[in-house]
Amino acid sequence: MRTKYLNYLNIVVNLVHTAHPTVIFIVYFATLQK
């Protein structure tokens, strides 16, 4: 479970470094909906 969470967190960090701010906002908003 924890490893899966860390992998997800790593993906989010990669998005923060590579994606456009709009994409980051969409991902963040989608996370809040869950």
DSSP 30: H
pLDDT of residue 34: 67
**pLDDT tens sequence across 1-34:** 689 989 998 988 887 778 678 877 888 888 888 6
CA 2/CA 17 separation, integer angstroms: 23
DSSP 27: H
Predicted model pTM? 0.42
CA distances from 8 to 14, 15, 22, 31 (A): 10, 11, 19, 11
